[in-house]
A and B are shown apart, each in its own frame.
Chain A
Amino acid sequence: MFDFMPEAVSTWANKVDWINSLITYIATFCTVAITAVMLFFAVRFRRRSSLVAEETPQLTHSTLLETLWTAIPTVIIIFVFYFGLVTYQEMRNPPPNALEINVDAYKWRWEFTYPNTKKSHNELIVPVNKPIRLIMTSRDVLHSFFVPVMRVKEDVRPGAYSVAWFEATKVGEYRILCAEYCGTNHSYMQAKLKVVSENSFQDFLARSEVGEVVALPPSELGKELFNQRACAQCHSTDGRTIIGPSMLGLFGKTETLDSGEQVAVDEEYLRESILEPGKRIVKGYLNAMPSYSGQLSEEEIRGLIAYIKELRNDGQEANK
């Protein structure tokens, strides 16, 4: 009847849902029953005439009734607290054999590091039927790691580690959300959770990272990174303004800054804007972009610039 919870994919999601249903039924029963009694009294004892009747009985208290309706809620809440606690202890204590994955949260993307130092961006890949222990930290502000289908949520803080764990029971693709408000693009800080078979997971671990061994041409590497590192959340490639300027036809333009100063969008300005985005902001835009300093290699920065350059060419060709 109140089954609105998302699909249950972790080992304890069904237990959480069971407690949730229990509470919802108790809550609904209490609300409906007490309201019904109140409405019954309101109708049954409704004042019939306009005259104020004063022959109502003097009922000021009843020790028996009052003891009862103090005791009954007390018993109910101790009962519910206990069930909530037992399942929560399971949720808070990862088994010792869990696979450990490091999680780094950035404004506004997720980075996952696997035991063999391989990284993935905005995509967490885990094997099915294996406990996963996440060791999480933030590189800027507070975030919160939320996977609705796992019923798991834990804040991710800068300067500290927090831990969450789950064991997926079903292969599939699910949503990871940020649940702690973290600024402009908070609602776009989403990642995919891919639950795969043990074999696919091993394949994934063995595969090389983007551009690492198989050298991609710079502009293709840039295109991969542009999506992977969440640039596309704020910068379109088709001329629309999302939060920041669109990349279409950007390279080579002359822009006006807030100070009135002019700046040519060249390699140097793009590099600066990636590493120190707040330094020279084009008029009309917010200082909302986080710095990517220390998060991209020289090759990767070069790749991004090559991709942005290419978007100018595409634009020019389209105009011809």
Chain B
Amino acid sequence: MSEAETANDKLNYLNCEKGFLSWLMSIDHKRIGLMYMASMFLFFVVGGIFALAVRTELFSHGETIVNAQAYNILFTLHGVIMIFLFIVPGIPATLGNFLLPLMIGAKDVVFPKLNRFSYWLYLLGAMVAFFALFMKLDTGWTFYAPYSLENSRAVITATSAAFILGFSSILTGLNFLVTIHKMRAPGMQWGRLPLFVWTLYATAILQVAATPIIGITLLLLILENALNIGVFDPSKGGDPLLFEHLFWFYSHPVVYIIILPAMGIVSEIVPVFSRKPIFGYKALVYASVGIAGISLLVWGHHLFVAGMSNFARYLFSFLTFLVAIPTAVKVFNWVATMYKGSISWDSPMLYAMSFVFLFLIAGTTGIHLATLATNAHYHDTYFVVAHFHYTLQGGAVVGLLAGMHFWFPKMFGRMFNESFAKFSWLVLFIGFNGTFLPQFVLGMQGMPRRYFDYPPEFEGLHRISTIFSFVNGLGYAMVLGNLLYAAFKGKFATSNPYLSKSLEWQTDSPPIKDNFAEIPRVTDWTYSYGATQ
């Protein structure tokens, strides 16, 4: 213990400079990662409060706490904040920023100042988004025209926010791509690259390829408003379907920008806590890149009932089905990694295992939605709401939390309360499933989404969902409270408490400002656990 304490008194990236400005002006990828994390979780709490307000309103049929207009604003705010301010920057901006250079043995990302600029853009985008939120934005986070054009000031402001945030994400993606290509330590061959880095690579390609579309959409919205050119508005000769295509051409790949890094985190955690090499490394790499590639071609499944030609529907359905293959391969590989391992049940592993379970539900209910015959019934119902919450919350957020617990001692040199972490994981797990499992049933029964009021026969399931949503909220309060307390007051940790062999653990925890005293030489891949060692 005393050794650990002295270790923590050493100069590191946290204590090397002090003061607010030393953070805001920092070009250290580790500090930028932490700042992203702090800002994002702040928005997460706000978005979560809106979610609980939505669920409270739905506790009974009829008007409960707010009127229809306020309800519509609430679910819009929940969606906009959670998607654009929290989960899209998500794992790449937080853990990605913190870990990418450490994992490939670099001092920083290749363009540290650009990285800082990305964070500033994120803050600016968040401010513009908040500005839009006060403009009675009640369009849902999808901003479909022509309804959104009735409040065009709000929708242009919101799209501007998405554009600025998108720019931040393009720059981060670009930075990561070049960093991965150019900054790898000697010996860090492509075949030795940690799988989390591979998923960041696949994500970065998507960020750079898909995000510009939101800029084009914004430009068209402005043209339509300023010059009265009919683009989306049918009363001016435009086509609202074009907006849906453009929106989802960006927003569908976003789902994979969100989920791929979470898969990467699970691929890092399972080997360490099973003391086994990752099973099927190559397959996992191909699956990540494959998912990224296919994801650019499946946006049409959001428009199955929107008015596409029958052939387009058939084609998009088939392409969507293809995503299932690499996804299934990943799941099999994780489970196979555990075979004959020496498995510890520490909190990061609990999160990783629950990720596999929740993601199985998310993925297999995706088949209901990809199948055209059943999609007609499920489209725009609570089935979809449950499905994407299993993907984004059960998948991405649980993956993020897995990573935050795993790398917590790396980031802060301190340890959280492990028993409390396990307990809060359980509360979160129960709360989450209790909230969203009933919503699958509601969807089957034909309950449309974005409904302020509903027929009385749906009340029972809505009540169960609302009650568990508060358990879910409590779970998050416990998890975040535990981590926040530990960041300042936790016991000092040893520099590699989980005995990981990955490069980021081969330096001090918390790392020194330049990560490594000298650039390491890599002689083996990251996953050399097991007998021969």
Would you give the shortest CB distance from B129 to chain A, in whole angstroms? 20
User: Which of chain A's residues have a CB closer than 8 A to the CB of B72?
Assistant: 181, 183-184, 186
- Which residues of chain B from 414 to 460 have any CB-CB distance to chain A below 8 Å in the complex? 441, 444-446, 448-455
Contact A92:B280 (CB < 8 A) given known A42-B345, A45-B343, A46-B345: no
Would you give the shortest CB distance from A6 to chain B, in whole angstroms? 5
Chain B CB within 8 A of A277 CB: no
Stretch from A73-81, A116-124, A199-207 contacting the other chain: A73-81
Once the chains bind, are B69 and A66 in contact (CB under 8 Å)?
Answer: no
Chain B CB within 8 A of A180 CB: yes
Would you give the shortest CB distance from A220 to chain B, in whole angstroms? 29
Chain A CB within 8 A of B365 CB: yes
Once the chains bind, are B364 and A30 in contact (CB under 8 Å)?
Answer: yes
Chain A CB within 8 A of B467 CB: no
Once the chains bind, are B328 and A41 in contact (CB under 8 Å)?
Answer: no
Would you give the shortest CB distance from A290 to chain B, in whole angstroms? 10
Contact A74:B325 (CB < 8 A) given known A56-B341, A187-B453, A243-B67: yes
Digit string of B335-370 for contact with A (CB within 8 Å is 1, else 0)?
Answer: 110111111110000000100110011001101101
Once the chains bind, are A88 and B445 in contact (CB under 8 Å)?
Answer: no
Once the chains bind, are B234 and A243 in contact (CB under 8 Å)?
Answer: no
Would you give the shortest CB distance from A90 to chain B, in whole angstroms? 9
Complex-state Cα separation, A69 to B340, whole angstroms:
19
User: Which of chain B's residues have a CB closer than 8 A to the CB of A149?
Assistant: 446
From A89, which residue of chain B is reached at the shortest CB distance?
B310
Would you give the shortest CB distance from A164 to chain B, in whole angstroms? 9
Once the chains bind, are A59 and B339 in contact (CB under 8 Å)?
Answer: yes
In this complex, how many residues of chain A approach chain B with their Cβ under 8 Å: the count is: 87
Once the chains bind, are A61 and B275 in contact (CB under 8 Å)?
Answer: no
Digit string of A52-82 for contact with B (CB within 8 Å is 1, else 0)?
Answer: 1111111111100110011001100110110
Chain A CB within 8 A of B86 CB: no
Complex-state Cα separation, A182 to B455, whole angstroms:
18
Once the chains bind, are A84 and B372 in contact (CB under 8 Å)?
Answer: yes
Contact A19:B371 (CB < 8 A) given known A158-B235, A179-B380, A187-B453: yes
Once the chains bind, are A187 and B451 in contact (CB under 8 Å)?
Answer: yes
From B148, which residue of chain A is reached at the shortest CB distance?
A141
- Which residues of chain B from 202 to 250 have any CB-CB distance to chain A below 8 Å in the complex? 234-235, 239-241
Stretch from B25-33, B91-99, B139-147, B479-487 contacting the other chain: B139-147
User: Which of chain B's residues have a CB closer than 8 A to the CB of A31?
Assistant: 357, 360-361, 364
Count A-B contacts at CB 8 Å.
284
Chain B CB within 8 A of A27 CB: yes
Chain B CB within 8 A of A26 CB: yes
From A188, which residue of chain B is reached at the shortest CB distance?
B453
Chain A CB within 8 A of B305 CB: yes
Complex-state Cα separation, A86 to B314, whole angstroms:
10
Contact A47:B342 (CB < 8 A) given known A27-B367, A187-B454: yes
Once the chains bind, are B373 and A41 in contact (CB under 8 Å)?
Answer: no
Complex-state Cα separation, A26 to B374, whole angstroms:
15
Complex-state Cα separation, A151 to B372, whole angstroms:
11
Would you give the shortest CB distance from B50 to chain A, in whole angstroms? 16
Digit string of A147-174 for contact with B (CB within 8 Å is 1, else 0)?
Answer: 0110111110111101000000000000
From A21, which residue of chain B is reached at the shortest CB distance?
B374
Most buried by B among A78, A92, A162: A92
Once the chains bind, are A84 and B374 in contact (CB under 8 Å)?
Answer: yes
User: Which of chain A's residues have a CB closer than 8 A to the CB of B381?
Assistant: 179
Chain B CB within 8 A of A98 CB: no
Would you give the shortest CB distance from B338 to chain A, in whole angstroms? 4
Contact A243:B275 (CB < 8 A) given known A151-B377, A157-B241: no
Once the chains bind, are B343 and A41 in contact (CB under 8 Å)?
Answer: yes
Once the chains bind, are B310 and A81 in contact (CB under 8 Å)?
Answer: no
Chain B CB within 8 A of A87 CB: yes
Chain A CB within 8 A of B2 CB: no
Once the chains bind, are B336 and A155 in contact (CB under 8 Å)?
Answer: no
Once the chains bind, are B324 and A158 in contact (CB under 8 Å)?
Answer: no
Contact of B373 among A42, A84, A185, A286 (CB under 8 A): A84
Chain A CB within 8 A of B138 CB: yes
Stretch from B39-47, B168-176, B525-533 contacting the other chain: B525-533
Chain A CB within 8 A of B23 CB: no
Once the chains bind, are B275 and A53 in contact (CB under 8 Å)?
Answer: yes
From B364, which residue of chain A is reached at the shortest CB distance?
A27
Complex-state Cα separation, A23 to B328, whole angstroms:
15
Chain B CB within 8 A of A144 CB: yes
Once the chains bind, are B345 and A84 in contact (CB under 8 Å)?
Answer: no
Once the chains bind, are B325 and A77 in contact (CB under 8 Å)?
Answer: yes
Once the chains bind, are A142 and B144 in contact (CB under 8 Å)?
Answer: yes
Complex-state Cα separation, A2 to B441, whole angstroms:
9
Contact A80:B367 (CB < 8 A) given known A58-B532, A183-B72: yes
Chain A CB within 8 A of B307 CB: yes
Complex-state Cα separation, A45 to B340, whole angstroms:
6
Stretch from A32-40, A264-272, A297-305 contacting the other chain: A32-40
Known: A38-B338, A80-B367. 5 other contacts (CB 8 A): A23-B374, A141-B150, A155-B306, A158-B146, A160-B239
Q: List 26 A-B contacts (CB under 8 A).
A: A4-B441, A6-B445, A16-B377, A27-B368, A34-B335, A38-B335, A38-B356, A39-B353, A53-B342, A56-B274, A56-B340, A69-B329, A69-B332, A81-B371, A92-B310, A140-B146, A144-B379, A146-B448, A148-B446, A151-B376, A153-B380, A159-B234, A187-B448, A187-B451, A286-B69, A288-B69
Query: Which 5 A/B pairs are nearest by Cβ-Cβ distance?
Result: A159-B234, A148-B446, A27-B364, A84-B371, A88-B372
